[in-house]
Amino acid sequence: MVPAKTQCHAGWTREYYGYLMSNHYNNGGRTMYECVDKDPESVPGLNAESNPRSFFDVNEIYCNGFSCPPYDAEKELTCAVCTR
């Protein structure tokens, strides 16, 4: 998984791209980041109320950990899933 990009490095094949997501910080436990397809499909009958461990967009970027710009604290982070 390549965070903050929609393309893969040379020699790699992009399987899909989308947005970096994570569990809500109030859910407890370790935070895991996942790259969710830009056109996700939902499971019928499940929503945030019935499944409190849903994924949330990662969109809060603090410039002390990233080079700002090009990152924007108001926008979701993209990602790409690549294979070799």
Domain range list for the chain: 1-84
Structure tokens at 30: 């370790």
pLDDT tens figures, 1-60: 998 899 999 999 999 999 988 876 666 667 788 899 999 877 787 765 665 556 677 765
The terminus-to-terminus CA distance of the chain in angstroms comes to 12
Q: Has residue 71 got a pLDDT over 90?
A: no
pTM of the model: 0.71
Count of all residues that appear for the chain in the document: 84
